[in-house]
Amino acid sequence: MDNEIPRRRVVVTGIGLVSPLGVGTEATWNGLMAGTSGVGKITHFDAAGYPTRIAAEVEGFDPLDYVPKKDVKKSDRFIHFALAAAQEAVAGSGLVIDDGNRERIGVVIGSGIGGLPVIEATHRTLLERGPSRVSPFFIPAQIVNMAAGQVSIHFGVHGPNGAPATACTTGLHAIGDAYRHIQYGTAEAMIAGGTEAVITPLGMAGFSAMRALSTRNDEPDKASRPWDRERDGFVVGEGAGILVLEALDQALARGAPIHAEIVGYGMSADAYHISAPEPHGNGAALVMRAALQDAGLAPEAIGYVNAHGTSTPLGDVSEVRAVKKVFGQHAYKLAISSTKSATGHLLGAAGGLEAGILALALENQILPPTLNLDRPDEEADLDFVPHTPRPASFEHGLTNSFGFGGTNGALIMRRWQG
């Protein structure tokens, strides 16, 4: 159509990762390549008496490295993670923010749950010491949009600002929203992704009550095992994954490092159940097809899928069925892996972390492995890159995120070769 708005090309110029494999992108990527598991015994609180006593915690993280001392207690851990990852992403991108561009740079960072540690601690204060002892910073310390708000304040950027809260699809949806802002010209650059920190007594009790978690307490490093016949639930993780996205013309003009190009994005809903996936994978298939259509690609163009792959009995099979629906015979030529086997499931941060991993996989032409895949499920007859990373040559990769409520997202990236 003559009146159709031309869409700008969008590239990833910065990556910031805080994960159970390490603080920083290099530590996370090196951990993936070494086949390291970030899962261990819970140390954030005494989990004795819980059916699940393992999680994927971020070790060695000091918020004082990223947040002024006077502000640390005014914000929750999920905000600290976002600030750390955003600072790494912006520094790596080489993007200089000044009065000439700050109104054209925005932030979209979401969280699935928000500041659960602060909520729990403040509720104890209320019960034990009364309402007068509740901190005036309680609300801004824990509301979901405050990660995006704090990042925008830190960098002084005035462009589009948002915070999706779409369960485990949050981080991917945030990047998709940011991608659209640049595509259609409402921003030149965006800081986008997800962040989460809910390894708390209430968080773990809630997921345990749903019987959603692995109870492999004596073998934490083997607990996250997507597509394996002995999988028994997911492992809660924490951290953040933040990308800097830019319009291609701007990135080229300033000689920015380009990790990958984003070329397709899709959203869909299962419209099936509050927590269980649609068993035949119809919603997941719909979202992958939407991303392919957005990218203008045939299914055969995709060489690698970074799957949602949570290690749950129902979810893993549903995703396999969806991949077979979308890719047909090409599904058997695809490489597919779940990096949650190493990092655990970062919930609202998962999509941001895994988008960063996809960009790095394309840039390095290496497929991250699926750990602990010893005996694949009967329907899991595809190439899941078991145990060890693998060199590969591929031009396009796709990453999936699916969340409670049946919300789905898929993002496609292209290898950047200049």
Report the C-alpha gap between 158 and 153 in whole angstroms.
9
Sequence-separated (6 or more) residues with CB below 8 Å from residue 287: 266, 267, 268, 400, 408, 409, 410
Report the C-alpha gap between 284 and 410 in whole angstroms.
9
Report the C-alpha gap between 119 and 27 in whole angstroms.
30
- Residue 395 neighbours by CB distance under 10 Å: 15
Over 215-244, what HEC string results? CCCCCHHHCCCCCECCCCCECEECEEEEEE
- Residue 124 neighbours by CB distance under 10 Å: 10
When computed from its CA atoms, the radius of gyration of the chain, rounded to whole angstroms, is: 20
CB of 54 within 8 A of CB of 39? yes
Query: How is residue 326 written in tokens?
Result: 């979308």
Spacing of C-alpha 217 from chain mean position: 25
In a 3-state reduction of DSSP, which class is residue 349? helix
Helix orientation angle between 313-327 and 282-295, rounded to the nearest 10 degrees: 40
Residue appearing with tokens 């981080």? 171
Tell me the catalytic residues. 168, 308, 345
Nearest alpha carbon to residue 416 among 366, 367, 362:
362
Dihedral sign (CA 163, 169, 173, 174) = positive
Angle at 32 between CA 366 and CA 200, to 5 degrees: 145
* Burial state string for 29-53 with b = 16 or more CB within 10 A and e = fewer than 16: bebbbeebbbbbebebeebeebebb
CB of 193 within 8 A of CB of 348? no
Report the C-alpha gap between 50 and 108 in whole angstroms.
35
Report the C-alpha gap between 272 and 289 in whole angstroms.
19
Report the C-alpha gap between 123 and 77 in whole angstroms.
17
